[in-house]
Amino acid sequence: MIPMVDLKRQYHTLKSEIDAAIGDVLEQTQFILGPNVSKLEEEIAAYHGLPYAVGVANGTDALLLALRACGVEAGDEVITTPFTFIATAEVIAILKATPVFVDICPDNFNLDCNQIADKITSKTKAIIPVHLFGHPADMTPIMEIARRHNLKVIEDCAQAFGAKYNDKKVGTIGDAGCFSFFPSKNLAGYGDGGMVITKSEEIARQVKMLRNHGSSKRYYHQEIGYNSRLDEIQAAVIRIKLKKIDQFNAARRQNAGAYCAAISSKNIILPTIASGCEHVYHQFTIRAKNRDVLANALQKKDIASAVYYPVPLNQQEVFLKLHNASVKMPVSENCAQEVLSLPMFPELNQEEIGLIADVINNAS
């Protein structure tokens, strides 16, 4: 069996460090907003060259709290992509704002910047670009549009920790960057976790207050907030993995190169990398007209694959009733019929990649 991601392999390479770190948390008995959370915030801020990082309970909350800290409220519109996990648009709707979808580029599945300006109205408050599958969105035109229209930019970096756009790490370009530490991410804990990074003292202050019931002083509450605190045990685990994230990302790029060299079928569209971008391959996603045939062929050989995402958000039942959500997104809708993600993790070996490529070549 070759899984999509093998968490056990990575655990065994880090077992002694992780076990010791978890043991230390249990001994210290500071389980909520303890020293590991504070240190992880400092380390992630330093990694990105920013002054502020705030740990939260998960990646969805990172987006939600960042939107609130950026002033998004009921009646506003937020531009984003329909080709992403639902959390990106879900948090907009939770705030009773409206997600306004812009179609994607077919080569890297990210926002088509040429279509953003046409979707801006007097109600537009922010843009959420998603660095999907680990490939950075085209941030220069996005930031130019945002500055021209006085919009906030919240980067969804849930799949792209350590990815770079013109030598800048994703999450450092907009007003805030939001990360998920879900177990399958390229930087991951052993449960839920998230982080907001920012250069803005005010955004950091707001997120820190909102994550803790709207309180900056115990039992004194300035806002209606949330219980959204990063768990101390998760922070301890993530700190171990953070030391190796560049090494892990390099291994992912090496594996992606091996896939590209081994998959020879002309019926397969392989991932491409835009100029100036450094991909971290949270997913290695191909496109094929006979996607389902390939998935079945892999399954017969006990090889996992996955479809991210089978239904674009503009076609999801929950968004069909929202203003402007039923507009057609032809590229997203076409990609949803063709994408197939193959196993990808740092510990994947060359023999396994060769096996997977053989199945793809023979079935396509």
* pLDDT (average), residues 37-57: 98
What pLDDT shows up at residue 114?
A: 97
The type of residue at 308 is Y
The pLDDT-based confidence of 333 (bands split at 50, 70, 90) is: very high
Does any domain span residue 50? yes
Residues in the chain, total: 364
The pLDDT-based confidence of 326 (bands split at 50, 70, 90) is: low
Pair 110, 116: CB distance under 8 Å = no
To the question of pTM greater than 0.95 for the whole model, the response is yes
Identify the burial level of 15 via C-beta atoms within 10 angstroms of its C-beta, where 0-12 means exposed, 13-18 middle and 19 or more buried. exposed
Inform me whether the pLDDT recorded for 324 exceeds 70. Answer: no
User: Do 237 and 313 lie in a common domain?
Assistant: no
Q: What share of the chain is helix, strand, coil (3-state, %, to 5)?
A: 40, 15, 40
Residue 101's H or E segment, with its range, is: strand 98-101
Of 186, 218, 242, which marks where a domain is finished? 242
Domain holding 16: CATH number? Answer: 3.40.640.10
Pair 102, 331: CB distance under 8 Å = no
98-101: strand order across its sheet: 52-56, 194-198, 176-180, 152-156, 124-128, 77-80, 98-101
The DSSP line for 274-297 is -TTEE---SSEEEE-TTHHHHHHH
User: Do 223 and 251 lie in a common domain?
Assistant: no
User: Do 72 and 182 lie in a common domain?
Assistant: yes
C-alpha closest to that of 98 among 75, 119, 68? 75
C-alpha closest to that of 156 among 278, 67, 285? 67
Does any domain span residue 300? yes
pLDDT digit string, tens, across residues 113-163: 999 999 999 999 999 999 999 999 999 999 999 999 999 999 999 999 999
The pLDDT-based confidence of 259 (bands split at 50, 70, 90) is: very high
Does any domain span residue 331? yes
User: Do 234 and 256 lie in a common domain?
Assistant: no
Inform me whether the pLDDT recorded for 205 exceeds 60. Answer: yes
Any idea what DSSP says for residue 112? -
C-alpha closest to that of 115 among 311, 327, 335, 279? 327
Does any domain span residue 207? yes
* pLDDT (average), residues 211-239: 96
Does any domain span residue 1? no
* pLDDT (average), residues 80-103: 97
Does any domain span residue 179? yes
The rounded distance, in Å, linking the Cα atoms of 199 and 87 is: 24
The pLDDT-based confidence of 292 (bands split at 50, 70, 90) is: very high
DSSP lists the bridge partners of residue 153 as 127
User: Do 229 and 260 lie in a common domain?
Assistant: no
* pLDDT (average), residues 191-211: 98
C-alpha closest to that of 195 among 61, 44, 56? 56
* pLDDT (average), residues 68-86: 98
Q: What is the mean pLDDT of the chain?
A: 97
Match 């291994």 to its residue by tokens. 251
* pLDDT (average), residues 59-74: 98
The pLDDT-based confidence of 325 (bands split at 50, 70, 90) is: low
User: Do 61 and 198 lie in a common domain?
Assistant: yes
* pLDDT (average), residues 316-334: 84
User: Do 227 and 291 lie in a common domain?
Assistant: no
As a whole-number percent, the residues of the chain with pLDDT over 90 amount to 97
The pLDDT-based confidence of 321 (bands split at 50, 70, 90) is: confident
Domain holding 333: CATH number? Answer: 3.90.1150.10
Split into its structural domains, the chain has a count of 2
The rounded distance, in Å, linking the Cα atoms of 182 and 274 is: 26
What pLDDT shows up at residue 25?
A: 98
Of 242, 258, 292, which marks where a domain is finished? 242
What pLDDT shows up at residue 101?
A: 96
The type of residue at 148 is R
What pLDDT shows up at residue 261?
A: 98
* pLDDT (average), residues 240-251: 98
Domain that holds residue 293: 245-363
What pLDDT shows up at residue 16?
A: 98
What pLDDT shows up at residue 42?
A: 98
User: Do 123 and 28 lie in a common domain?
Assistant: yes
Chain centre distance of CA 110: 12
Does any domain span residue 2? no
User: Do 272 and 254 lie in a common domain?
Assistant: yes
Of 242, 260, 289, which marks where a domain is finished? 242
User: Do 84 and 212 lie in a common domain?
Assistant: yes
* pLDDT (average), residues 231-247: 98
User: Do 64 and 153 lie in a common domain?
Assistant: yes
Pair 152, 70: CB distance under 8 Å = yes
User: Do 39 and 186 lie in a common domain?
Assistant: yes
